[in-house]
């Protein structure tokens, strides 16, 4: 019988790619979604659905108990569900930490621990370390997260670390891009409009990981049966701040762009105003105080040696190949058109 896997946040950008890889591996795939979640990228008839409200600890435990009684426990769990931007700042803790805790606690209470519990964390849990010397962030560095997002993710990591024998593996990817992602798509739209925006004047070292390579790393971790470990994930390269937009410009066929460098002080004010406006209309904003701190950070280098040595991970995509495939998808999906 095929091993079973629960993938939370399955309707999202990263989660939907995790589902596709699990299906390729002939696993029994359960897509963890809310009742209101889109199933746009979950139309494979082999997908089973696990609908639950992760904000309600009692209701979640009831759903898991029913599943256990009917199908047994999950062999693997990939917890992708989370929030990178919120209307209310308290929602970061509620979604990224408390909902993770609810799931973990329920699994322990119901004796449903999987062979491996994958937690999708972020490089942001470390914050602006090595801002002056630009050396790669390493796992033995002391985290100093300065965003609500990073703080909430770190809190979830530390909770799992505090539980003896809990079989977690945390992945801390740098900037994840690829088809279906809406955040980097905003940059593509800007470049299409002949505008290239960047923050600050000081050197900024940026790193990326293509979504399919992140998925590859996670499943390699399953194959290696690792647990109680955390890995930084990037393509292993370091890019200057304009490289991503330069590649977008090339793939979109944009003849010229106007480069706009926004002083950090001005960007900070704009970010606060954008967040204020979003709250008034009860919507989340891509540009917000948390995002400002991410744009402000100058060093996004990270040490991927442990992932390479312990998992055997090597990326299939460099930035040029990844952006090329992403833009091709934008065009095919009708999100954007080439310039003529």
Q: Where are the domains of the chain?
A: 4-177+208-236+300-317
Helix 148-161 with 99-109: angle, nearest 10 deg: 20
Residue 340 clears pLDDT 50, i.e. is over it: no
* pLDDT(1) > 90: no
- CA dist., res. 63 & res. 52, Å (int): 7
Determine which of 87-91, 252-256, 328-332 has the lowest per-residue pLDDT on average.
87-91
Question: Percent of the chain beyond pLDDT 70?
Answer: 99
Predicted TM-score of the model (pTM): 0.95
pLDDT at 339: 57
User: Does residue 165 surpass a pLDDT of 60?
Assistant: yes
pLDDT at 249: 96
Give yes or no for residue 338 having a pLDDT over 50. Answer: yes
Going by pLDDT thresholds of 50, 70 and 90, the confidence category of residue 278 is: confident
Into which CATH architecture does domain 4-177+208-236+300-317 fall?
3-Layer(aba) Sandwich (3.40)
- Give dist(CA 57, CA 61) in Å, integer: 6
Average pLDDT, the chain: 95
Average pLDDT, integer, range 277-301: 87
In contact, 231 and 172? CB cutoff 8 Å: yes
């Amino acid at each position: 019988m095929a091993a079973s896997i629960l993938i939370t946040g399955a309707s999202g950008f990263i989660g939907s790619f995790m589902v596709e890889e699990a299906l390729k591996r002939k696993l029994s795939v359960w897509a963890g979604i809310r009742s209101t979640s889109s199933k746009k990228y979950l139309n494979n008839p082999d997908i089973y659905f696990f609908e639950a409200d992760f904000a309600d600890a009692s209701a979640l435990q009831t759903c898991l108990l029913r599943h256990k009684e009917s199908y047994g426990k999950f062999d693997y769990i990939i917890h992708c569900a989370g929030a990178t931007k919120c209307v209310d700042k308290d929602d970061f803790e509620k979604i990224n930490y408390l909902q993770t805790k609810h799931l973990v606690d329920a699994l322990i209470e119901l004796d449903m621990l999987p062979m491996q519990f994958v937690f999708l964390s972020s490089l942001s849990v470390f914050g602006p370390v090595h801002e002056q010397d630009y050396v790669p962030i390493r796992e033995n560095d002391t985290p100093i997260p300065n965003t609500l997002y990073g703080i909430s993710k770190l809190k979830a990591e530390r909770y799992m670390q505090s539980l003896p024998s809990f079989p977690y593996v945390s992945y801390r990817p740098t900037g994840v891009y690829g088809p279906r992602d809406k955040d980097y798509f905003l940059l593509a739209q800007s470049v299409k409009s002949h505008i290239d925006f960047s923050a600050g004047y000081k050197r900024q070292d940026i790193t990326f990981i293509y979504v399919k390579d992140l998925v590859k790393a996670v499943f390699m971790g399953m194959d290696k049966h690792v647990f109680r470990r955390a890995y930084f994930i990037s393509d292993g390269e370091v890019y200057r701040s304009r490289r991503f937009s330069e590649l977008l410009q090339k793939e979109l066929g944009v003849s010229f762009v106007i480069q706009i460098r926004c002083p950090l002080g001005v960007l900070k004010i704009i970010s606060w105003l954008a967040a204020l406006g979003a709250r008034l209309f009860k919507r989340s904003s891509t540009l917000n105080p948390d995002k400002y701190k991410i744009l402000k950070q100058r060093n996004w280098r990270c040490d991927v040696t442990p992932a390479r040595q312990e998992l055997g991970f090597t990326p299939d995509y460099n930035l040029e190949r990844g952006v090329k495939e992403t833009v091709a998808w934008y065009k095919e999906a009708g999100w954007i058109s080439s310039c003529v």
